[in-house]
Amino acid sequence: MKILIDSLGLQARVHLRDERRLADLLKELAAQPGVRVDFSPSEALSTEQLASCDVLMLTTRKMAEADYTEAEMDGIQSFVRDGGGLLLMSNHGDIPGQPYPDLTASDARLARRFGIGIENSFFASSEWGRPVEISGESLNREHPILCGIGEANSVRSLVVNNGCSIRTEDGVPLVFLPAAMRDYREARTPALRCFAVAHDRKHGGLRGRVVVTADSGFIGSSGTTFPGAGLLDQGDNLRFVINILLWLGGS
């Protein structure tokens, strides 16, 4: 299985500068049998690049710096329709009057192609600055990504900092936002809003699979702080991402 990481994504761009941000994730992926990981060129994704991979990983596109072109979105949609796997990791929205940019705008445009709504929201802990653990009934334990692919690979908790919120009518909720989170942008309730959702061959008429998450920063390596604290070693964050990628690749 070949995974292509979009070099224009926020987490990827940071990693390609410091070689630390995604180092822990890349090390774990390298240990997975039959898995190969490449970064795309630092330009708009082409149909040729997409055709060369099994799973595409997008780690937040900033509209002001690297918005998706219409041709890219057409190509990604065709890639999934033809059987490819897509992991689209968005991020937090803005807070009016505060120095937080809206990091959802570009990803929301792409997510709509798959019937998934990414909201411009800023969900974080009600205790500002503290990570939130998501566990228990907030996790869809019936889905392979959460119950585990292979042996002893279940996901029991996630630890996140902040992010947007996701709504979908056709997809499968994977992780709901817990009551411990609040929206600092418009005071939306977390009820029935998701941190992660999935589309598969049974939903949306796709041959491929899609997973959308409300944050990308939690895949950052332990000890990295930009952009945001790296939380990959917290809870079952690492296993969650690995399970997503394996499921997207057809496991």
Q: How confident is the model at residue 200 (pLDDT cuts 50, 70, 90)?
A: confident
- Residues of the chain with pLDDT > 90, as a percent, come to 91
**Token pair belonging to 179:** 């009551």
The top-level CATH class assigned to 2-248 is alpha beta
Q: Is the pLDDT of residue 2 over 90?
A: yes
For 219-245, what is each residue's pLDDT tens digit?
A: 999 999 999 999 999 999 999 999 999
For 15-26, what is each residue's pLDDT tens digit?
A: 999 999 999 999
Q: Is the pLDDT of residue 203 over 60?
A: no
Q: What is the pLDDT of residue 201?
A: 67
Query: 83 near 41, Cβ under 8 Å?
Result: no
Q: What is the pLDDT of residue 206?
A: 73
Q: What is the residue whose two structure tokens read 């817990």?
A: 178
Mean of pLDDT over the chain:
95
The one-letter amino acid at 104: T
- Residues of the chain with pLDDT > 70, as a percent, come to 97
For 57-91, what is each residue's pLDDT tens digit?
A: 999 999 989 999 999 999 999 999 999 999 999 99
pTM given for the model: 0.96
Q: Is the pLDDT of residue 183 over 70?
A: yes
Nearest CA among 171, 188, 179, 194 for reference residue 115: 171
| DSSP letter string, 71-92 | HHHHHHHHHHHTT-EEEEE---
Give the start-to-end residue ranges of the domains of the chain: 2-248
Neighbours of 251 (CB within 10 A): 13
- Range of lowest pLDDT (90-99, 191-200, 203-212): 203-212
As to burial, measured by CB atoms within 10 angstroms (0-12 exposed, 13-18 middle, 19+ buried), residue 99 is exposed
Please give the average per-residue pLDDT across 164-191, as a whole number.
95
